Amino acid sequence: MAEDIREEAAKYYDAQPNPTVDIPFYRARIPSPLADVLELGCGTGRVLVPLADACRFIHGIDSSEAMLARCREKLKAAGIAENKAQVTRGGISDFDLGRRFDLIIAPFRVFQNLETDEEVDGLFECVHRHLAPGGSCILNVFNPKRSAEEMRRTWCVPEEVLEWEKMLDGGRRLARFLRRPRMDTEKMIVYPELVYRRYDGDVLEDEAVLKIAMRCYYPDEFAQLVTDHGFTLIDRWGGYAGEPYGQGPELVLKFSE
């Protein structure tokens, strides 16, 4: 298994604003209380734990052991038994759990972390292998606010930007900053750096940097990618409030075999 790039930032992940904004959306798409659900990139269980009581069984897979450790803590604190929810460390492009699921989800733009065509192909192969008959999968990416030409010209900036800050217990303060140092303009992959800093007053106590890859997709391109991998589109949304596809902040696709 590759290095856990989320290890340092895992302790701050759940502090992000609006952590539950997409949970009602996914909860409403669980086909029945008897459904088995698979979450790709489950992380700390932000979505997995709240969905556990809405289905028969939910399984999460994630490459970060640090994130999964927090997910397991949440499951234990919520009293959720192993026959109701389990998590596994692994990559979302190459796994075989030996079972099929009625719904597969990959919330919060997990799909965009796949940089190469081989990884993308691998994910779709895994979805084919793990979808139950009649089952469906939901993937989402962000909807680029700028054209590809404008993205190539303007995405990289030298300045560090404050995205949000939050007060913690004990009067401490957590702030997250965004750096945008580089972009692969040919493959349309951006490489943001998320910098978490914890302060006691004005004194910096801790800093954690998360460097990630985000491959950009445009509405028609994203839909075509899904159908090119042998799936049939069922529905599409532009966000978790039901915005029209291509007009909201997200690109969300539901599809089946």
CA distance 80 to 227: 36
CA distance 33 to 52: 10
246 in a domain, yes or no? yes
Task: State yes or no: pLDDT of 140 exceeds 80.
Answer: yes
pLDDT level of residue 5 (50, 70, 90 thresholds): confident
Residues 74 and 112 in one domain: yes
pLDDT level of residue 6 (50, 70, 90 thresholds): confident
Residue 2 pLDDT: 67
Residue 16 pLDDT: 86
- How many degrees, rounded to 5, is the angle at CA 24 between CA 104 and CA 138? 25
CATH of residue 93's domain is: 3.40.50.150
DSSP for 122-144 reads HHHHHHHHHEEEEEEEEEEEE--
- Please state, rounded to an integer, the average pLDDT across all residues of the chain: 96
Q: How are beta strands 57-62 and 85-89 bridged, if at all?
A: parallel
CA distance 191 to 3: 17
Residues 115 and 42 in one domain: yes
CA distance 84 to 174: 34
206 in a domain, yes or no? yes
Residues 161 and 174 in one domain: yes
Task: State yes or no: pLDDT of 238 exceeds 70.
Answer: yes
Residue 18 pLDDT: 84
| pLDDT per residue as tens digits for the range 94-103 | 999 999 999 9
pLDDT level of residue 227 (50, 70, 90 thresholds): very high
CA distance 88 to 91: 10
Residues 95 and 25 in one domain: yes
For the record, the structure tokens of 199 come out as: 């302060």
Q: Which of 76, 135, 78 is nearest to 103 (CA)?
A: 135
Cα 108 to chain centroid distance, Å, stands at 3
Residues 115 and 185 in one domain: no
CB 219 within 8 A of CB 246: yes
Residue 249 pLDDT: 96
Q: Residue length, the chain?
A: 257
- The residue-averaged pLDDT of 158-164 equals 96
Residues 153 and 137 in one domain: no
| pLDDT per residue as tens digits for the range 25-50 | 999 999 999 999 999 999 999 999 99
Domain that holds residue 94: 10-144+217-256
Average the pLDDT over each of 3-17, 97-111, 211-225 and give the range with the smallest value. 3-17
* DSSP code, position 16: S
Residues 138 and 53 in one domain: yes
CB 93 within 8 A of CB 122: yes
Q: Which helix (H) or strand (E) holds 185?
A: none
Share of the chain above pLDDT 90, in %: 93
